[in-house]
Every structure is written in structure tokens, then in C-alpha cells.
């Protein structure tokens, strides 16, 4: 217990760190500046700003804003990225409540009741409850991460290559089972991602693999490049297809009366609690994440409610539960990343990309060697949530105005912004072209109903999986049964197999689809 407090203390120490700033114009007087808090604030603000733009989801927002953190020191960069992530998520819910255009799958359910509330002139309370619920969930999740971080790291250190490999298989299977759409197609996308990750030079022999003597490919496909193409450019092209201006039913009433009534608070308090618990659990699972959490929380609220007919007509619980759940899940999904080094979803995969750029290999070692980084990030989560609560509610008016920016002006700006971002990673024009190519690939994938998120996950896990597979087989002298004879590995593999079987069983499939279909009728 004492450990946790000292660790959190270290974390808050990092977050509140003051850096002396001695500007020339003050003539040698130095001002202490809380740099990391500022970065967290800027991240949350910019994340909300971009996340609020309709049609831009969380993954796209984080991918687009990744380059602006490259110039920062690692701790600051990760704190800012985490801020961007929460900001983007909150921005997404703002859009769904006010315009009925969920920026991403996770906020689809928020739109159901949130937009109805907005139409009834209760946009203020809806936004406030979303923020309060998120903040509460964020607090609980922060404590949970602090509690689970250290023990899980200890377990992780006992893992051998065989266990690691099995764990990653389990994670990928979870990602498939919990995702929307066809299981088969999702697996195909993961394998496509694994294959893409093989481009570049082999870790052990240094042999160039599938690089066709193109110097820019020698180090492999840049992660930021692919993410930006698949999520940034592809989304733009797809939105152009749909016709940017068509269904923008922006709520015209002025957003007044921000504070929820006492009745609202009483109605939503249990929903927030349940959403937080459910979200935290689903977030820790590899493959879990914000999307499934909000769907599940909404379904549960509706099942538990005495008056389920109110849902879809502006029930405040229908906003409170999914919003708390997705924020809790967004945070607890950092647990597998920080302790095991395995990203459980696409956003965390982007975090791995960012860490790698700063020369950090995520995993149990980071927890021990760079505790300031890990605990600083954890503490910054709480601070970030507080910032969201403080800055967003007063700024709702600005976000509403942003929503009125027409798409015809927005998308060229995003194209330019993304291009500069990609170019600045390596100062390589080839990267920009590659991202463009992946934009077209992403557009094609969307047209054929393939989800790009599992692809990204596969791409990040590819090198890790190969390395561990190779090591495990080397240690076992080529014996493949090692994955089944080591007890822990066998257990993980068995869970993975059972999940996969369950997922394709018709009865469970129906139930799983039910959860997602909820949003469509």
C-alpha cells in the first residue's frame, strides 16, 4: 500500500514539476513554469478541438496530432499525448450530443440519448453529465492503474517468450471477438497488419525483407505514416463520398442551463457507478477498449432500467453510463500497455508508436527503469480529466461554433496539416506518398467492410510476436509444443481458443451483434 502512495507521489511530482524559465526580456528574472501541466492542458484542448470536428474519430485525432509531440522530451510528449487522447474522446461525445454525428464508434451510443436531450433543449445537462461521469470514471481508473500496475509488472517479468507470444495471441483474439463486424475479416486484417510489419530489415540477420531496395523502406513502414494514411486520409476521402454537408442537424437552440438538476444527478449517479465498473473491467482486457465498453454499458443500463422505453428518447442515464464506461476503459487500457508492453487497442498501438519514436520500448522494464515516465503519465491522467472538466464546460460555446465550420473548408486543411505532420517525422517526401497510398488502401478497406483498426494492432504487434516466437522456439530447440506444455502459456492459449470458438458459435454471435445493433434502430 505504501508503495502505491509513494509511486503516485512520484507521479504527481513529475506532473507538477516546475521548470525555471529565464526570458531575456525580463533581464535575468526567472519564472517557474509547470511545463507538464501546461502540456497536459494543451493536449486536452487541442485533442478536444480536433476531436470535435465531425467525422474525425479518436484514432485519427491521435494519429494526426502525433507529430506535434515529437519535439518534446519523452515524459512531456507522453503526457501531452494522453491529454490529446482524453480530449479527443470528450470531443467525440460533444459532437454526438450536439450534432448527432458520432466521431467514432465509441460515442455512437451517446448520440442515441444525448442528441434527443439536446433536441429537447437539455444539451447543457447532457454535456455536463458526460463530463462529470467521465471525471468520476477517470478518478477510479487512475487509482486502479496505480493499484494494479506494480503487481502486474511483477507477473510480466516472470513471463518467458512462450508466455509473451501466447499472451499476444490472446490479445489479438480478444480484439477480434470484441470488435464489430465479421470475425473472419477482422482476423484477416490482423494478419495483413502482421505481414506489413515484416517489411524492413530482419532483427536478427539484418537481411532486407520485402523492401525492394527502396531506401525509405529499409527501416520498415513507418507506423505514424500508416496510421495517418489509414485513419486520416482514408476518412477524408470517405467523408467526401458521403457528401460533407448532407446530414448536419446541428442543434440550433442556444445551449443554456449547463447544470444538471438534482433529479438528473440522482438518476445518473448509479449509472455512472455501473458504467465505471464495467468500463474499467472491459478496458483491462486485451482487445477491449472504449467502444465495447460504451455499448455494453448502454445495454446494461437499458436492461436494468424500470422504464426501458425512455431510452432513445433522452434518458440521462443513457448518456451517463456509456460516457463513464468509455472513459474508464480508455484509461484502464493503459494497464496492459504499461505493465506488459502490449497495446490492447489501436489507440494504445499509436502510443507504442510514439514511445518507440522517443526510444522507449514499452514493457515491464520501463516501469522499473523509468518510473518517473510511467507514474508521471498515470498522475497526468487524473490531472487531464480534471482539466477536461474545468475547461470544457465553459468552452461548450466555442465547440458549438467549431461544429459549424463547413466540411469543404475543413478537409483541405486536414490534408495539408497531415502532410506536414508526416513529412516532419523524417523529413522524407516518400513518407507522405506512402501515407497517401495507405489512404487509398484504407478507403478500399472501408468500401469492402474491413476494419482498419485490427490492421494497425497487428502491425504494432508483428515484430514483438516474431521476436518472441523465434526465441521461444530457439529455447525449446524447435519444439512447437512449448506453447502448450508451459502451464501459463497453455492457459492463455486455451482461453484464446475458447474465445474464438465462442465467437463463431451462432448463439453468442447473435448476442454480440445485438449489442452493436442497438445503435442502429
Partner 1 sequence: MSDTPSHAPVNSILPKWIRGPQDFIGGLALVAIAVFALWASSDLQGMRGFSFGAGTAPRMFAFLLLGLGVAVMLVGIVTEGAHLAKYHWRGPLFVSLAILSFAFLIRPMGLIVTAFSSFLISALGTPETKWTETIIVAVCLTAFCSLLFPYALGLPLQMLPKFMIR
Binding footprint of partner 1 on the chain (CB under 8 A): 67-68, 70-71, 181-182, 184-185, 187-188, 191-192, 194-195, 198, 202, 204-205, 207, 209-210, 212, 233, 236-238, 240-242, 244-245, 406-409, 411-413, 415-417, 419-420, 423-424, 427, 429-430, 432-433, 435-436, 439-440, 443-444, 446-450, 462, 466, 469-470, 473-474, 477-479
- Measured distance CA(453)–CA(290) in Å, rounded: 13
3-state SS, one letter per residue, for 342-390:
CCCCHHHHHHHHHHHHCCCCCCHHHHHHCHHHHHHHHHHHHHHHHHHHH
Residue that has been written with the C-alpha cell 437539455 in this structure: 122
The neighbour count for residue 143, using CB atoms within 10 Å, is: 15
DSSP letter, residue 19: E
- Measured distance CA(467)–CA(470) in Å, rounded: 5
List, in order, residues 6 or more apart from 431 with CB less than 8 Å away: 216, 222, 225, 422, 423, 425
- Measured distance CA(293)–CA(343) in Å, rounded: 17
Cβ-contact 228, 435 below 8 angstroms: yes
User: What three-state secondary structure class fits 518?
Assistant: coil
Residue that has been written with the C-alpha cell 470488435 in this structure: 179
- Measured distance CA(175)–CA(185) in Å, rounded: 12
- Measured distance CA(345)–CA(458) in Å, rounded: 10
Give backbone dihedrals phi and psi of 260, rounded to 5 degrees, phi first: -70, 150
Cell of 485: 506444455
- Measured distance CA(326)–CA(149) in Å, rounded: 20
What's the number of CA atoms in the CB half-sphere (13 Å) around residue 18?
7
The neighbour count for residue 484, using CB atoms within 10 Å, is: 13
- Radius of gyration (C-alpha) of the chain in whole angstroms: 22
Please state at what angle helix 35-52 crosses helix 58-65, rounded to 10 degrees: 130
Cβ-contact 85, 47 below 8 angstroms: yes
User: What three-state secondary structure class fits 31?
Assistant: strand
Q: Classify residue 246 as exposed, middle or buried by CB count within 10 Å of its CB (0-12, 13-18, 19+).
A: exposed
Cell of 134: 467521465
DSSP for 235-258, written as a single string: HHHHHHHH-TTTT-----S-----
List, in order, residues 6 or more apart from 404 with CB less than 8 Å away: 250
Amino acid at each position: 500500500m505504501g508503495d502505491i502512495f509513494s509511486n503516485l507521489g512520484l507521479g504527481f511530482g513529475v506532473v507538477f514539476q516546475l521548470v525555471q524559465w529565464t526570458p531575456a526580456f525580463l533581464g535575468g528574472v526567472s519564472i517557474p513554469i509547470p511545463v507538464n501541466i501546461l502540456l497536459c492542458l494543451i493536449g486536452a484542448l487541442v485533442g478536444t478541438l480536433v476531436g470535435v470536428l465531425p467525422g474525425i474519430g479518436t484514432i485519427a485525432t491521435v494519429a494526426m496530432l502525433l507529430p506535434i509531440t515529437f519535439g518534446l522530451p519523452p515524459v512531456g510528449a507522453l503526457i501531452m499525448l494522453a491529454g490529446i487522447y482524453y480530449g479527443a474522446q470528450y470531443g467525440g461525445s460533444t459532437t454526438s450530443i450536439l450534432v448527432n454525428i458520432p466521431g467514432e464508434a465509441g460515442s455512437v451510443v451517446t448520440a442515441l440519448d444525448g442528441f434527443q436531450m439536446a433536441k429537447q433543449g437539455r444539451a447543457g445537462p447532457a454535456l455536463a453529465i458526460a463530463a462529470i461521469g467521465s471525471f468520476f470514471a477517470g478518478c477510479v481508473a487512475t487509482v486502479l492503474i496505480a493499484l494494479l500496475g506494480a503487481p502486474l509488472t511483477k507477473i510480466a517479468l516472470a513471463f518467458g517468450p512462450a508466455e509473451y507470444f501466447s499472451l499476444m495471441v490472446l490479445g489479438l483474439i480478444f480484439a477480434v471477438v470484441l470488435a464489430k463486424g465479421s470475425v473472419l475479416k477482422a482476423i484477416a486484417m490482423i494478419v495483413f497488419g502482421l505481414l506489413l510489419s515484416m517489411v524492413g530489415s530482419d532483427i536478427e540477420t539484418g537481411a532486407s525483407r520485402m523492401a525492394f531496395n527502396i531506401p525509405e523502406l529499409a527501416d520498415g513502414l513507418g507506423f505514424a505514416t500508416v496510421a495517418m494514411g489509414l485513419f486520416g486520409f482514408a476518412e477524408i476521402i470517405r467523408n467526401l463520398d458521403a457528401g460533407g454537408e448532407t446530414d448536419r442537424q446541428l442543434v440550433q437552440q442556444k445551449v443554456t442551463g449547463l447544470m444538471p438538476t438534482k433529479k438528473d444527478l440522482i438518476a445518473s449517479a448509479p449509472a455512472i457507478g455501473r458504467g465505471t465498473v464495467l468500463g474499467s473491467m472491459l478496458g483491462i482486457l486485451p482487445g477491449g477498449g472504449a467502444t465495447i465498453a460504451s455499448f455494453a454499458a448502454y445495454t446494461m443500463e437499458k436492461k436494468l432500467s424500470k422504464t426501458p422505453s425512455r431510452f432513445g428518447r433522452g434518458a440521462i442515464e443513457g448518456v451517463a453510463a456509456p460516457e463513464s464506461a468509455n472513459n474508464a476503459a480508455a484509461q484502464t487500457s493503459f494497464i496492459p500497455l504499461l505493465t506488459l508492453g502490449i497495446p490492447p487497442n489501436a489507440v494504445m498501438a499509436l502510443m507504442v508508436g510514439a514511445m518507440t519514436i522517443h526510444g522507449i520500448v514499452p514493457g515491464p522494464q520501463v516501469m522499473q527503469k523509468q518510473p518517473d515516465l510511467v507514474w508521471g503519465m498515470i498522475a497526468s491522467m487524473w490531472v487531464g480529466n480534471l482539466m477536461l472538466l474545468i475547461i470544457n464546460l465553459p468552452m461548450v460555446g466555442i465547440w458549438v461554433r467549431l461544429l459549424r465550420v463547413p466540411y469543404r473548408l475543413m478537409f483541405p486543411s486536414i490534408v495539408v496539416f497531415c502532410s506536414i505532420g508526416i513529412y516532419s517525422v523524417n523529413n522524407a517526401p516518400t513518407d507522405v506518398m506512402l501515407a497517401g497510398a495507405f489512404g487509398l488502401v484504407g478507403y478500399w478497406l472501408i468500401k469492402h467492410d474491413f476494419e482498419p483498426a485490427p490492421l494497425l494492432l497487428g502491425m504494432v504487434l508483428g515484430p514483438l510476436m516474431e521476436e518472441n516466437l523465434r526465441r521461444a522456439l530457439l529455447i525449446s530447440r524447435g519444439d512447437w509444443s512449448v506453447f502448450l506444455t508451459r502451464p501459463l502459456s497453455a492457459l492463455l492459449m486455451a482461453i484464446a481458443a475458447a474465445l474464438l470458438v465462442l465467437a463463431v458459435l451462432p448463439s453468442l454471435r447473435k448476442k454480440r451483434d445485438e449489442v452493436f445493433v442497438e445503435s442502429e434502430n
